[in-house]
Structure 1
Amino acid sequence: MKKAYINLVITTLLVAAMIAAIIYLMSNPLFTVSLFSTNYLNKTFVYQATTLVLSLLVVLITALQTKFQSVKLLSIRNIDGEVMPEPWIGITKKNKDTWKKGGLSLTIIISAVTALIIYFQVYRSGVIQTLTVPIFLLILLFALTNSFVEEVTFRHTFTSIVEYHNLSPYISKALSLITFGGAHYFGTPGKIPGVLLAGFLAWFLAKSIHETKGFFWAWLIHFIQDIIIMTALFLTLA
């Protein structure tokens, strides 16, 4: 048990270091490019490339902590599992579902809430760019890498340690909620609505990894949210 909590402390420090790196790299890119039509796209490319490398280091450290058992939780083939009751959000023993059946519905609901918040926080500032097919494909790539980086950092780390040491899933859900939700106060969406949405999303996606023993729903749901957010940012930033 002592080793389990030591690993939790190490992981929490690792996530804290990654948060610090993310915040720093957002405003202090390690290099610059002029490959794309807007400053936002060029900066995002640099940020994604840099944080992707860091996230692979996080995967390696977590793997070493768990004797590589954590790698199993990165599987995107595990898409099913029982959704455990959560009465406070309406999931009870009587109406509980499986991830394979209910995952898509939950994805749509979460995405609709994200889109609504993004509309009020971002779109109302005015659209100044035109979205083309090549640009949208680039945004899809950025959303794919960004969602991977953040899921590895904020979900896979904590859930892997908890699963490896047979601890309560509530530990990883809580740690993910606190770190991811707190980090989004200055993010997009931001302020209190951003913290609440990101915190719930963090808790929910950690739940999905525990219950499916895989990465599929966490990555997919986060990926779709990032498509919504990054598209809005492209359309409204120079």
Structure 2
Amino acid sequence: MELVLSLGMVGLATAVILNLGGVAARSTFSVSELQYVNIQLKFQALLFVVALLVLLVLLLINKENLSIFLAPGEVTAATRGVSLLGIGEGTSWLVLGVLFLFVITLGTTVFVYLQFRTSGGSWKQLFRYLPWVLLFSLTNSFSEEVVYRLGVIVPLYGRIEPGYIMLISAIAFGAPHLRGMPNGLIGAIMAGFLGWLLAKSVIETHGIFWAWFIHFVQDVVIFSAFVMAAANKALQPTTDRDAAPLG
């Protein structure tokens, strides 16, 4: 029953999220001369509402698990080994978190550079809109962690094996990135691995610190590229994907 509830809730939230870009683009509300900022601000506000609704449902489904995982957690907790990735049994998440933060951010940066290398932009343009980049990264990473990590882990933890929970989170997070950023099949695989890793961190540390922080840094890279491109008028948010990059 919990599996059905979790999949149904995350699936419904995803369907709503994938359509928020069009809703945001139709609104005339604006706070900036850069259209991308205006659309993204409205998108993030709507996404945050979705996240709050998911939290409300989780509170009703399993208040105890929500209270456990909606917290920073033990950031130095020991991890369960994964020989395929060279992760030794008992490795501290402090070491693992920093390591994966560097590796994953490097991969995201390379992928985003290849996607945006012809779109122009400059560091000067980025610094001008940096507060918006940081705000969007903060809200986007939190909202998506609520939906794709807590939305899966809270209902299922203690009911099915953690390995299956991580797999479900990976698929739920990776599939929408066929239309997100990073996008396409490679982007979906990258996002799927990230979803698996972040779910592992939440389960093993009993908190969202590493998941939220690692996700936040990836979003900083992604939103920086979108803002620089939009500011350079080489890429304008004329599609839902441009307006609403899942990251």
Is TM > 0.5 for Structure 1 vs Structure 2? yes
Q: Any stretches of 5+ residues in structure 1 without a counterpart?
A: 1-5
Deviations 1:30-63 (A, max 9, x none): 7332211211100000000111011011011012
TM-score by length of 2: 0.88
The residue correspondences of 1:1-238 to structure 2 (distance < 5 A) are: 6-29=1-24, 31-93=27-89, 97-127=91-121, 130-163=124-157, 165-237=158-230, 238=236
Q: How far apart are residue 68 of structure 1 and its match?
A: 4.1
Residue matched to 1:3:
none
Q: Which amino acid aligns with 1:115?
A: T
Inter-partner Cα distance in structure 2 for 1:206 and 1:141:
23
Runs of 4+ in structure 1 over 6 Å off: none
Inter-partner Cα distance in structure 2 for 1:132 and 1:85:
40
- Number of residues of Structure 1 aligned to a counterpart in Structure 2: 230
Q: Residues 117 and 193 of structure 1 are in contact (CA less than 8 Å); yes or no, is this contact kept in structure 2?
A: no
Residue identity (%): 32
TM-score by length of 1: 0.91
Between 204-213 and 151-160, the greater mean CA deviation after superposition? 151-160
Inter-partner Cα distance in structure 1 for 2:186 and 2:135:
26
Q: How far apart are residue 77 of structure 1 and its match?
A: 4.6
Q: Any stretches of 5+ residues in structure 2 without a counterpart?
A: 231-235, 237-247
Q: Residues 81 and 99 of structure 1 are in contact (CA less than 8 Å); yes or no, is this contact kept in structure 2?
A: yes
User: Residues 176 and 32 (structure 1 numbering): CA distance in 2 closer, same or farther, change over 3 Å?
Assistant: farther
Inter-partner Cα distance in structure 2 for 1:116 and 1:130:
21
User: Residues 59 and 86 (structure 1 numbering): CA distance in 2 closer, same or farther, change over 3 Å?
Assistant: same
Q: Which amino acid aligns with 1:139?
A: V
Q: How far apart are residue 79 of structure 1 and its match?
A: 1.2
Q: How far apart are residue 104 of structure 1 and its match?
A: 1.1
User: Residues 220 and 143 (structure 1 numbering): CA distance in 2 closer, same or farther, change over 3 Å?
Assistant: same
3-state secondary structure, aligned to 2:27: coil
